[in-house]
Amino acid sequence: MTALLDSTIHAIQSLDETAMRAARARQDQLTKPQGALGRLESLSIQIAGITHAARPRLAQPALLTFAADHGVARQGVSAYPAEVTPAMVMNFLHGGAAINVLARHIGARVVVADLGVASDLPTHPNLIARKIAYGTRDLSAGAAMSRAQALQAIETGIEIVAHEIERGADVIGTGDMGIGNTTPSAAIVATITQRPVAEITGRGTGIDDAGLKHKIALIERALALNQPDRSDALDVLSKVGGFEIGGLAGVMLGAAARRVPVVIDGFISGAAALIACGIAPSAQPYLIAAHRSVEIGHRAMLEHLRLVPLFDLDLRLGEGTGAALGISLCCAACKILDEMATFDEAGVAGKNQ
C-alpha cells in the first residue's frame, strides 16, 4: 500500500448522522405525505450524510470518463475492433458522443483521461494524458498488469478526482471507454462474487452466441491460469482487470475521502466499485448506483455491493451515460429537500392538524 492510497483510505469517514437526521426531519415536514417522494427522499438524506450538509446543493457535476485498451480484445471478445477506443476518445473530446449530449443536458463537464489506450492520441487541451501502458496484457495468457501498475491506476484516479474537486466538482459520475472491457469486468465480478462465469458474462457490444461461448471460455481460462485472490482486490485488479477500471476505483476512493458523492454507471463502473470496496469497504456508503445495465452480471455486482439502482432503462453503452442521468436525479432530490416549502412555511395544515 502506497502513502497516497493509505492516506486516502484513512480519510474516508462514516456518513454524518447529524446531517442525515436533520435532512430526514425536514423531509417529514415538507408539503407532502411523509415518504410520498420515495427514493428521492432517501437519496437526499444519503447525500446529506455524504456532504455534511443538512440541505445539500449540487451545482457542479463532473463526469470522469477513463479510456484504456485490453490485450484480450485481440481474442475477438467484442463486436468492434480495438481501433474504436481512440476514435471514441476523440469523439468525446469533440463533443459528439452520447455522454457529451447528456452532460450538456445536466450542466456537467466531461473529463476525459487516457490511462492506457493502445495508441498515441493527438494532444488536446481537454485530454488528461496519464497512460500507464499501451493497453493491458491478454488476461487469458497471464496477468493483465503488474501489481505496481494496478496501484498506479488507482492512484491516478485519486489524483484526477482530487484535482476536479479542487476545481469545484461537488458530485462525480464515472464512465469508461475501452473495447473488450466487459471481459475483465466479468472476470472481476466472477472472482469477487464467486458466481459461475457463464452466469455473469454478457454480450458486451453485441457478440453472437458463438462469440459469447468463446468469451466465457476465455474468462474461465484466465481465472484458472491467474488464480486471483478475491480477498485482495489489488491482486484481482492486477491479474484480470483494466487500467480504466483501476482508475475509476481510485476516483471512488478519492471522492469518498473528500465527502463527495459518486454516481456509478454500469458494468465497468460496477467492476471498479467492487475493487474500490474491496480495498476500502468504508467507501460503499458514498456510492450511488445510477442504473441496472443490460449486462447480466451487473445485477450480481449490485447485490454484492448492496446498492439499489435508481432506474433501469436497458442501457449498455457505458461512457458515463447512466451516471449522467443518475446525477440528474441526485440534483432533483437535493432541490426537493432544499427548495420545497414545509407545512409551516406554506401555511398549510399538516397531518392531524
For the record, the C-alpha cell of 26 comes out as 425536514
DSSP state of 130: -
Using left for φ > 0, alpha for ψ between -120 and 50, and beta otherwise, residue 202 falls in beta
User: In terms of Cα–Cα distance, which of 113, 59, 271 is closest to 184?
Assistant: 271
Q: Give residue 50's pLDDT.
A: 98
Residue 310 — pLDDT band, cuts 50, 70, 90?
A: very high
Segment 68-84, tens digit of pLDDT? 999 999 998 988 899 99
Q: Catalytic residues, which ones?
A: 319
242 neighbors 116 (Cβ within 8 angstroms):
yes
CA 193, 40, 27: angle at the middle one, nearest 5? 125
Kindly report the number of other CB atoms within 10 A of residue 325's CB atom: 21
Kindly report the number of other CB atoms within 10 A of residue 6's CB atom: 10
Segment 272-306, tens digit of pLDDT? 999 999 999 999 999 999 999 999 999 999 999 99
Extended beta strands in the chain, E state: 61-68, 109-116, 127-129, 171-177, 262-264, 287-289
- Which residues lie below 8 Å from residue 210, measured CB to CB, with a gap of 6+? none
Q: How far apart are CA 282 and CA 74, in angstroms?
A: 37
Ranking 74-88, 98-112, 150-164 by mean pLDDT, the lowest is 74-88
301 neighbors 193 (Cβ within 8 angstroms):
yes
Q: Give residue 352's pLDDT.
A: 56
**Burial grade of 304 (CB within 10 A; 0-12, 13-18, 19 or more):** middle
Segment 189-216, tens digit of pLDDT? 999 999 999 999 988 878 898 989 999 9
Q: Which domains are assigned to the chain? A: 3-56+337-346 (1.10.1610.10), 61-330 (3.40.50.10210)
Angle between helices 233-240 and 267-279 (to 10 degrees): 140
Mean pLDDT over 40-50 rounds to: 98
The pLDDT of residue 1 is above 80: no
User: In terms of Cα–Cα distance, which of 299, 312, 306, 252 is closest to 279?
Assistant: 252
Q: How far apart are CA 349 and CA 142, in angstroms?
A: 68
Mean pLDDT over 302-324 rounds to: 97
Residue 2 — pLDDT band, cuts 50, 70, 90?
A: confident
The pLDDT of residue 114 is above 80: yes
